[in-house]
Amino acid sequence: MKHDDAADARLPEMLREVGRMADAFAGEAREAEERRVTGADRTGQVTATVSGSARLLDVRIGARAMRDLDHVELSQAVLEAVGAAREAAAEELTEVLGRLNGGGRPQPGARGHPSARDLDAMLREAGHG
């Protein structure tokens, strides 16, 4: 491991940046849990609502679906609606994570990110990069 005084001098700022990133992630995680995302089967007669973290909250079955579908078709419609809702929640979560620091930890040579090179070097030296 080689010693780099310049990187040592930037370490406090890098730690503050990591703290800001962690706080932002925690805030987004709290907001995600409060979000409600709805999906439907292909007919629109069965809907499911999940939290932003994909926890199932509600399933609604329309009268027409109860009348027209047998038990196998109805179960498939419920699974389809839940899957659609969870997929929509996953897409929202992906967008949120993409907004947090441009998609993750700074990449080596990332423009406009003064700590990227130092953080990458530290991770490489520690065997994580």
Max avg pLDDT among 89-98, 103-112, 115-124: 89-98
Q: What is the pLDDT of residues 69-102, one digit of tens each?
A: 999 999 999 999 999 999 999 888 888 777 765 6
Residue pair 117/109 in contact by the 8 Å Cβ criterion: yes
Instruction: Give residue 16's pLDDT.
Output: 86
- Res 18: pLDDT: 83
pLDDT digits (tens, 9 = 90+) for 9-50: 778 888 888 888 788 878 877 877 788 999 999 999 999 999
**Structural contact between residues 108 and 100, judged by C-beta atoms closer than 8 angstroms:** no
Domain architecture of the chain: domains with CATH: 25-125 (3.30.1310.10)
How far apart are alpha carbons 73 and 81 in whole angstroms?
A: 12
